Structure 1
């Protein structure tokens, strides 16, 4: 026999059909009004909501740019003629920051290094910048135009003997003559004779426009023989990104050094 009260419907409603459930939330309760308030705010101020969304997107873009600039890629401005024709004045390049920490720097690489010994004082100074440009450079949205950085090509690495010049006027690295296709048209490998051994954990660097480059040759009388410590290397040039008609590789060319024997061989 059923024990259900015949006067009480199974759905819990009363005699008049109205629900008697204690779980119903009143329309004006605090919990049910939060979402409604947000919807009303959006409905009342679509312009404000649009600008808030734009601001969030820009903030995310700046954060991503800063992370990329700090750990992966960084843009630099070319202020002088020392790397022509490979890199020209006003070119912008992107540098791979994973070299040398992860990727080994090799002969033929075009690198950017921190000018801890004031080499750039002998070349064209970087252009003046505004505080806004400095801020954009800091977060990675503009190329670094600071004169505290120098771009050159690696000719020798730690332990290499770099000399100039052999009978045909070419540089030699560990006794191997080097044909240099990247040299500025009309330039000879070097007007200065030298014969140095690159200190360990350092690189010997030269500009492609040899007559306009104050590079390792100009500092070979210093204790480090003009070599740049690897710890000062910021990274390897990856690509030219500006101006548009000069888009292309970063200038690295390892092929001329393919037959160079290891130091001491």
Structure 2
């Protein structure tokens, strides 16, 4: 009786593991299908090609970017690292830069000072390579509405807004943003982990089911064969 109960429990556990594993794998597949259709934001992994964003990104680093859902406008904030399309600056690709100021802001640098000034106040920028040299050239720009002022974190080696003062004072239209830098997307990590877990549970359920089936077959009683009558 005890062996029978153990075999039945194994079978129940096997069914539970098979169902749970199947649901996890199916859920991840649905998540991927929805993401591919643009229902959720898509993410791209890019290799940083240049030194303009050191030390935040070193050349050769992998960087993740939220590319947004179809038709979505990016909500850009000061301090964001963005991928932008500015053919006048980079004719053959996208540029990685940091948003320093937005429409209505006055951003300036006075030679000899150790910080930029944003709307008259010193701007704290802990992310730049050399905090004592926040710009290679002096400037004083009031950013028009709907535009942004961009600078690299490696201020002494960055082809950014400060290098293009003759075109809209170096400002760039917000529509030029193609992606926003993010940490490695949590959703992708979780989805990958759940898919692996689902596969492991499904496999474990299959093995346990086989064990339970073998155990049940062994527990079947041997057929009773009637004794033969002696020949008369």
TM-score by length of 1: 0.52
- After TM superposition, what 4+ stretches of structure 1 lie above 3 angstroms from structure 2? 60-71, 98-103
Counterpart of 2:175 (choices 231, 242, 245) is 231
Provide the secondary structure at the position in 2 that maps to 1:88.
coil
Name the CA shift for 1:205/1:148 in 2 (closer, same or farther; >3 Å).
same
Structure showing greater relative contact order (alpha-carbon pairs closer than 8 Å, 6 or more residues apart): 2
Residue 115 (structure 1) aligned with residue 96 (structure 2): no
Q: Which residue of 2 aligns with 1:89?
A: 59
Residue 209 (structure 1) aligned with residue 188 (structure 2): no
Name the CA shift for 1:64/1:75 in 2 (closer, same or farther; >3 Å).
farther
Name the CA shift for 1:212/1:91 in 2 (closer, same or farther; >3 Å).
same
Check conservation: 1:166, 1:177, Cα contact below 8 A: no
Distance in 1, Cα, partners of 2:151 & 2:161? 6
Q: Which residue of 2 aligns with 1:261?
A: none
Q: Which residue of 2 aligns with 1:188?
A: 133
Q: Residue deviations 1:52-82, cap 9 Å, x none?
A: xxxxxxxx99967754699522222211000
Q: Which residue of 1 aligns with 2:50?
A: 80
Name the CA shift for 1:69/1:116 in 2 (closer, same or farther; >3 Å).
farther
Check conservation: 2:99, 2:149, Cα contact below 8 A: yes
Provide the secondary structure at the position in 1 that maps to 2:163.
helix
Alignment coverage as a number of residue pairs:
156
Q: Which residue of 1 aligns with 2:207?
A: none
Check conservation: 1:187, 1:210, Cα contact below 8 A: no
Q: Residue deviations 1:141-161, cap 9 Å, x none?
A: xxxxxx411110100001111
1:92-241 matches, cutoff 5 A: 92-98=62-68, 101=72, 104-117=75-88, 119-120=89-90, 147-165=92-110, 168-185=113-130, 188-222=133-167, 224-239=168-183
Q: Residue deviations 1:12-34, cap 9 Å, x none?
A: xxxxxxxxxxxxxxxxxxxxxxx
Moved more, 149-158 or 183-192: 183-192
1:98 Cα deviation after fit: 3.3
Check conservation: 1:198, 1:227, Cα contact below 8 A: yes
Query: How much is the aligned-residue C-alpha RMSD, in angstroms?
Result: 3.0
Distance in 1, Cα, partners of 2:129 & 2:151? 12
